[in-house]
Structure 1
């Protein structure tokens, strides 16, 4: 049984099974996050540096494909629905039902001309709330949200991902904003999206 040394960041879902870890040289949580970061960086470029697409991203197959792209170099279960319940997230048997509800909600939000940042915050929260995967749900939700923002505004939220890996003031604020959204209060999460929203930096 694989057990990695170190502690997970504040509010992170504990990983209770490392059997799906592909990289056998990893011994610490820090090394794991570094490997995941490299995988995520390459996938972020794939989704965010190409021209905006008019194709709807709110599709179960596409959403799960994004997670697979983000973590497939590190985990066997990347892009696969979790088969156990966690300390956070809904019951495993409700995942597909709630994904369908999210797609329906998204269509309603768009048709009712809800503010784009409000929509992005609601997408972000609902994906984290559902928690469809063994791990990486928050990072996946942030990328999916940015794919939406790129389509709508050609702008994205520049998340301080390195800060989100450590226990600091911003991470606690972020976690608390998601917890507030659990109770229907999206103001804090909307504020974070607004504060960190910027034009996309193009590298040539």
Structure 2
């Protein structure tokens, strides 16, 4: 395998062992990988828009990830089993995910935050745990949009551009996530509606 699996700045690198899980043997370039993933993501999004499920269960989030990436990767929808450059340690993921989803259920039941802030915090918390081998940002952005819908809000605009390539918009997004890591959600709340 070559370095076609190196994504934009801030993305999770894919080591050779994870690259072997590629289901589409015809993929030989980064462009072909992006094309295959995008087609799968669109199918997963269409499925998610038809299905009304409890967003705050591990099983739904795993099924959503599998629907978004399962045509391309055999590890889609399975919790990450190795360390990455971000996220919880693999042995902590299941517990941290359950604890976080319990917190989100509390926010929803008690209207702890405004709807946009609940959805933005939902996105950030999932990114911070980084439960999957790859595709966490794309997965959690869709999950946040689905949370917006559940709360009667329009989907987030996410800077109005693709966040899947190196760009000033992606850098602004990553900076907003880093601010949220320090409990400053202002930049993320501004970004998601920009």
> Which of 100, 108, 111 in structure 1 is aligned with 2:109?
111
Aligned alpha-carbon RMSD (Å): 1.8
User: Deviations 1:52-93 (Å, cap 9, x if unpaired)?
Assistant: x4x522111111000000001000000011111111111001
TM-score (norm 1): 0.87
Contact 2:157/2:193 (<8 A) preserved: no
Write the distance in 1 (CA, Å) between the matches of 2:159 and 2:110. Answer: 31
Q: Which residue of 2 aligns with 1:42?
A: 43
Aligned 1:51-70 pairs, distance under 5 A: 53=52, 55-70=53-68
* Cα distance change, pair 162–29 in 1 and its aligned pair in 2 (3 A): farther
* Cα distance change, pair 162–6 in 1 and its aligned pair in 2 (3 A): farther
Matched, 1:78 2:76: yes
- Secondary structure, counterpart of 1:20 in structure 2: coil
Q: Which residue of 1 aligns with 2:175?
A: 176
Q: Which residue of 1 aligns with 2:20?
A: 19
Instruction: Quote how far apart the aligned CAs of 1:103 are.
Output: 1.5
Contact 2:127/2:137 (<8 A) preserved: yes
Write the distance in 2 (CA, Å) between the matches of 1:36 and 1:162. Answer: 17
Matched, 1:129 2:121: no
Contact 1:181/1:189 (<8 A) preserved: yes
Instruction: Quote how far apart the aligned CAs of 1:160 are.
Output: 6.5
Which of 1 and 2 has higher RCO (CA within 8 Å, sep 6+)?
1
Q: Which residue of 2 aligns with 1:200?
A: none
Structure in which a larger fraction of residues adopt helix: 2
* Cα distance change, pair 29–91 in 1 and its aligned pair in 2 (3 A): same
Write the distance in 2 (CA, Å) between the matches of 1:166 and 1:33. Answer: 10
Instruction: Quote how far apart the aligned CAs of 1:25 are.
Output: 1.2
Write the distance in 1 (CA, Å) between the matches of 2:161 and 2:78. Answer: 25
Write the distance in 2 (CA, Å) between the matches of 1:149 and 1:194. Answer: 12
Contact 1:44/1:143 (<8 A) preserved: yes
Aligned residues: 191
TM-score (norm 2): 0.91
Write the distance in 1 (CA, Å) between the matches of 2:160 and 2:153. Answer: 20
